[in-house]
Amino acid sequence: MSPSPALSDGARPPIDLYHRALRGLVHALAWLAGGGLMVMMLVTSTDVILRKLGLSLTGAYDIVKVAATITVAAALPYTTATKGHVAIEFLFHKLGRRGRIVVDALMRSAAMALFGLLAWGCLDYGNSLRAKGEVSMTLELPVFWLPYVLAVSCVLVVLIKLYHLTHPGKPMIKP
Amino acid sequence: MTSTEGALIGFILLLLFLTGSMPVGFVMAFVGLIGFAVMVSPQAAFSMATIDLYTTFSDYSLTTIPLFILMGQVAFHTGISRGLFDAAYHWMGRLPGGLAMSTVGASTAFGAICGSGPATSATIASVALPEMRRYKYDLQLATGCVAAGGGIGMIIPPSIVFIVYAILTEQSIGKLFIAGVAPGLLISLLFCGVIYIQCRHDPNLGPPGPQFSWREKIVALRGVWETLVLFVLVMGGMFRGYFTATEAAAIGAAGTFAIALLKRRLTWHKMLQCLNETIRTSCMVMVIVAGAIIFGKFLAVTQVPSNLASWLAGLPLPGWCIIGLIILFYLIGGCFLDALALDILTIPILYPVVQALGYDLIWFGVMIVVVTMMGVITPPVGVCVYVVSGMARDVPLEKVFRGSLPFLWALVLAAILLVIFPSIATYLPSLTR
């Protein structure tokens, strides 16, 4: 992956390192999301097959729920970094250059505020689940850490939006 | 501020942010959060938005979406579509416009293992467009039929739009899936009719292909077995009560992987591509669903959906007229907003209206998918047209839109037929338990 011209020209190693670390984290979470997806598929299929054989996979429901949460939460930074979210852009592109910069900055700031709040909320929610000792239905696995994963993803979305704000028009990661 | 004023300001903000190119899911969550904070309290809005985001992401029934997307992605990346097109081509290629009809046939068959319109368009475009170019097909017809044919993937089960609709309206995913079969086949026939009429009128648009012997035709059917096995496994298992929709999605995805491995078509690189695309698309859909749920909570406190439902149901107009207006709204809205996003945003508002008018919600689900199919081929945001245009870079976008136009009329005709004969959609689900 080649560094952006702004970075290579500016010769600012700490920022370059920071962006590389950010990309690395996003990729790591994308791998986690892919793994979660495979777990969902394999556990559910195995459960169905075992059920036909008169057996059962105890806690399949719990595992799939946990894997689903991890899959979507961990995919959030990657989807944002690759600009995979659906947006209506045809009116935006009709604006002049200055108009686009202003509107883009406003929209990204709003998104950063939203995900900043959601990250804080997820942390808070995880703390409340921890305090209540909330566990999954069958396997009784602690679930307080799942909102923490989502909180990390939300923080990453804020950082990715900041990157997009400072590097207009460029996806942070090519899909 | 009255609740109606609050809702109105909310809608204005929603439109402003949407036109500012903020992602649709983010906009709905953001406006919903602010609106709820103003109408109820900031603290309540804060915890509502967080819990809704978390519960949407961890919702067991929504796991159907990534699993069916994975099934379609594996089928796409491992070339299952080529066998489907070859089979259809051997049987229909000889007719005027036969290759275009084969494209519609292959799209219909591929729709049986893929629930996404754009994915179906992309898949079929990669095999059908080179063939149609080889036989000197008019590129407007060729690209138009691939773009419109992709929409068939949205109505033939499994369908992502049906799953989302089922969750938002608390309907059975299985019944919606089976309800989509007859209208899907009807639309395929109408599309073939459109192609036939165009090619009869101007034979240069789609010259007939070569004649195949009966033996060749029978042999070509071998390309259909994978799709047939998967469709029977997934849909049969679900309707026989062997497994739920979520389990069917997992079995379908695992079955597609197994077939791809057996046929040695799945490399490590392709598998990573499948996972990559699946997590991206699934996350995009789930964020829109979560955003719509948060926005829906805000609308619920303003009581606008229920008031709107009572007002519309009380209008001195026949029910079909109101349904017609709703369809017109979707048709116009689908031109400007991503079709799935529009559905997710508006279904929670409009389905109580449909229910109050006494219409069947399964039938309405099918109607929603038909108008969504219109939305993916109408300018300026017809996503299937963009997909095809991206794959046929020498064909101007306007030409693809123009090529899709005759198929839009076929969809309008299908919608009218569904209004006049609702049993086209409701008969098959009525046979299930």
Assembly ipTM = 0.91
User: Would you state the pLDDT for residue A5?
Assistant: 47
- Which member of A40, A45, A86 has the closest CB to residue B63? A40
Q: 3-state class of A66 per DSSP?
A: helix
pLDDT of residue B197: 94
pLDDT tens, residue by residue, B219-262: 988 888 888 898 888 888 888 888 888 899 999 999 999 999 99
Segment A89-146, tens digit of pLDDT:
777 888 888 888 899 999 999 999 999 999 999 999 999 999 999 999 899 999 999 9
**Dihedral of the CA atoms B115, B387, B378, B66 (nearest 10)?**
30
Q: What pTM was computed for the model?
A: 0.84
**Which of A76, A85, A148 is the mutation pick for testing B, counting most B CBs within 10 A?**
A85
Nearest CA in chain A to B245: A44
Q: Do B63 and A92 touch (CB under 8 A)?
A: no
- Cβ–Cβ below 8 Å for A175 and B46: no
Spatial contact of A76 and A37, defined as CB atoms under 8 Å apart = no
* Distance of residue A86 Cα from the nearest chain B Cα, in angstroms: 5
Q: What is the largest CA-CA distance in chain A?
A: 67
Question: Which member of A78, A107, A110 has the closest CB to residue B280?
Answer: A78
Residue B138 CA to residue B306 CA, distance in Å, equals: 50
Helix (H, G, I), strand (E, B) or coil at B267: coil
- Cβ separation of B60 and A68 shorter than 8 Å? yes
Q: In this structure, how many other beta carbons lie within 10 angstroms of the beta carbon of residue B313?
A: 17
Query: Between A and B, how many residue pairs show a Cβ–Cβ distance under 8 A?
Result: 179
CA of A3 vs chain B CAs: smallest distance (Å): 22
Optimal mutation site among B19, B54, B397, interface A, most CBs of chain A within 10 A: B54
Q: Is the pLDDT of residue B300 over 90?
A: no
Beta bridge pairs of residue A142: A135
Assess contact for B252 and B233: CB atoms under 8 A. yes
